[in-house]
Amino acid sequence: MIRTARALAAAGALAIMGIGARFLVRPEAGLAGFGVTAGDERALTAIKGVRDISSGLVLLTVWRWGSSRALGACLLAGSFTPWGDMVIVLRRGGSPATAFGVHGLTAAVMDIAAIPLLRARPHSTAG
């Protein structure tokens, strides 16, 4: 049963990554597949809000019930989001101060926090 659940979790992770890639490569198709239309800024801000809340919930869940190493790995993987946000802001003509000061700083803090967690003894949950 566990093996099947883990396989389903991996399949789901790969599927959502594919959906995310479609949003980057073919934005109109991504939006249509999501069920909204291009130009609906409120829908896009709602999508971002849900994504950010979900990301925080995943990290808090691993922080509470996972090992230190698992938390470090999740922080490292999760930092892809603010690094990507930083690049998006810069490429779309947004404020460099916001790109680096908000998104870049967030990503760097996540990566810095991940380092000692990844070096923790296996199954360690205490500091």
Which of 71, 84, 112, 107 lies closest to 24, judged by CA?
A: 84
Asked if the model's pLDDT at residue 126 lies above 70, the reply is no
Residues 6+ apart with CB under 8 A from 102: none
| Torsion sign, CA atoms 63, 66, 68, 70 | negative
Structure tokens at 41: 């800024």
Asked if the model's pLDDT at residue 123 lies above 70, the reply is no
Residues 91-111 pLDDT 10s: 999 999 999 999 999 999 999
Residue 121: the pLDDT is 86
CB 103 within 8 A of CB 85: yes
Residues 5-38 pLDDT 10s: 999 999 999 999 999 999 999 999 988 999 998 8
Integer CA distances (angstroms), 17 to 20, 21, 23, 73, in order: 5, 6, 10, 17
Confidence category of residue 122, pLDDT binned at 50, 70, 90: confident
What is the overall mean pLDDT for the chain?
93
Asked if the model's pLDDT at residue 83 lies above 90, the reply is yes
Structure tokens at 24: 């980057």
CB 62 within 8 A of CB 118: no
Cα–Cα distance measured from residue 7 to residue 14, given in angstroms and rounded to the nearest whole number: 11
Asked if the model's pLDDT at residue 125 lies above 70, the reply is no
Residue 124: the pLDDT is 61
